Amino acid sequence: MDFTGKVALVTGGGSGIGRAACAAFARHGAAVVTVDRDATAAEQTAELVREAGAKALAVRADVTSSADVQAYVRTTVEEFGRIDCFVNNAGIGGTVAPVAEYDEADFAAVLAVNVTGAFLGLRYVLPVMIEQGGGAVVNTASVAGLIATPGASAYVASKHAVIGLTKTAAGEVARQGVRINAVCPGPVDTDAMRRLEEQIAPDDPAGLTARNRAAQPTGRYSTPEEVANVVLFLCSDLASNTTGAQYVVDGGRSATGTATPTRG
């Protein structure tokens, strides 16, 4: 996979899968723009990219803000002239509670980041790609966009919506040379996953981690780098006729029906 001369834009690039994707793009020759609502985290990722020998730019943005999204798109084009790869990755997990007890404000917050944020990214990046004659987008969905997880109604609903956006947008822009796919991770070994486990089992998060890992057919969580490898494949010429698809990276979780235990 050779991304020399290409520009990759990654939201949620300050940590986890987003940071791993930025580092992977850098190793394969791309200039990288990392977007995150945490400016310090975004700059830390950008520094990792520079250490890998690639050009980097960090942009602080709230993906739920149309003005901020337009600004990160405009900044990328002004700095590098184009957007070849867009990893529409920013997202939050929300609280864990049964549907009948789920806080309305928390539900709206999850949908704002995970759905509206993804929509706005597509809304303002796609015209750039169409005008330049092509590009590749990967939306970060989840196995929660394919199967249910009790206690995570907002997250599940939002990731189902991301897959719907992926399919719809992919069909709309395929003839303009733009490909749009989704990656669907299962549990990933990230700080966000550890925070979720602490929320579910505050008295024994380590025990919950051990049970969750044991429930995986592979016996472990995916690493951010393993998910990033699939993201790069979908952005590369190796996937030149792949669009509107969902690629699962979950250690067999969805194939066997295992689920992360949650309250509710």
Going by C-alpha positions, the residue among 52, 59, 66 that lies closest to residue 80 is 59
Q: Are 50 and 22 in contact (CB under 8 A)?
A: no
Confirm whether 221 is a catalytic residue.
no
Going by C-alpha positions, the residue among 171, 186, 161, 160 that lies closest to residue 243 is 171
Q: Are 113 and 64 in contact (CB under 8 A)?
A: yes
Q: ∠ CA 118-121-124 to the nearest 5 degrees?
A: 150
Q: Which of 72, 124, 155, 247 is catalytic?
A: 155
CA 133 to chain centre: 24
The CB-based long-range contact list for 127-130 (8 Å cut-off, 24+ gap) reads 128/73, 128/77, 128/82, 128/83, 129/83, 129/86, 129/173, 129/176, 129/177, 129/178, 130/173, 130/176, 130/177, 130/178
Phi, psi of 12 (to 5 degrees): 65, 30
Residues 6 or more apart whose Cβ sits within 8 Å of residue 30: 3, 4, 6, 7, 8, 54, 84, 85
CA distances from 94 to 74, 79, 90, 146, 193 (A): 30, 34, 13, 18, 12
- Any idea of the CA torsion for 42, 43, 47, 50, to the nearest 10 degrees? 80
Active site positions, annotated: 155
